[in-house]
Amino acid sequence: MAEQSPAAAPPPALVPCDAFAPLETERLLLRVVCEDDLDAVAAYQSRADVARHLPFGPRDRAELAELLPARAARTRLREDGDAVQLSLARREDEQVIGELYVAIASVAWACVEVGWMVHPDHGGSGYATEGARALLAFVFETLHAHRAIARLDPANAASVRLCERLGMRREAHLVEEIWVKGRWQDSAIHALLAREWAARGAAQRD
């Protein structure tokens, strides 16, 4: 009788999240966006300098008022395409200074996508790095993702530097991948693996 080869081990599975619970850091609170955040979100999403590297233009308060209710209702991360928008608020005064994004890119491959946006008036204070690190900790240590990716405009120098601070490497530069605002635009993909995240944590503890 011919020997049967052992069955291949299945890839690690994502741990589903049915209701995103707030995350806290030393200075920040990360929680699901709510309709009360409208004015704070409009304060930065309405700015041309914020929208310059995004696939949409500046959004006014009326447009955001239509978008926020649906986004506030999204709290689960269970299936491909599930996404949660988080408000990035300072703990000291609960002021919303930006947002983070987390979405399941692939359940089968345990891949999660992350993103961020911070009000320029609060840039340079380390808030984006602090919030994104907390989000990556959630992605790897709670969802048990194998891989986290960030998609961005490669011309967005601030986001590129943030990816580098997080330990995310650039894996792809896609030339003229998307049609945005009347022109073809490049995209970049940065990524980090769970084992790399764990190694960075161990090195920091040492």
Q: What is the CATH number of the domain that holds 137?
A: 3.40.630.30
How much is the pLDDT for 1? 52
Q: What is the DSSP secondary-structure string of 46-76? A: T-HHHHTTSSS----HHHHHHHHHHHHT---
- The Cα–Cα gap between 148 and 106 comes to 10
Residue 166 burial (C-beta neighbours within 10 Å; 0-12, 13-18, 19+): buried
> Does residue 7 form part of some domain?
no
> Does residue 132 form part of some domain?
yes
How much is the pLDDT for 3? 60
Can you tell me the mean pLDDT for 85-111? 96
Can you tell me the mean pLDDT for 87-92? 97
For residue 102, the enclosing domain spans 23-205
In terms of Cα–Cα distance, which of 51, 148, 155, 45 is closest to 98?
45
Can you tell me the mean pLDDT for 151-165? 96
How much is the pLDDT for 178? 92
How much is the pLDDT for 118? 95
Percent of the chain with pLDDT over 90: 87
Residue 70 in this model has a pLDDT that exceeds 80: yes
Can you tell me the mean pLDDT for 200-206? 70
> Does residue 12 form part of some domain?
no
Structural domain count, the chain: 1
> Does residue 17 form part of some domain?
no
How much is the pLDDT for 46? 96
> Does residue 28 form part of some domain?
yes
| Mode of pairing for the β-strands spanning 83-90 and 96-106 | antiparallel
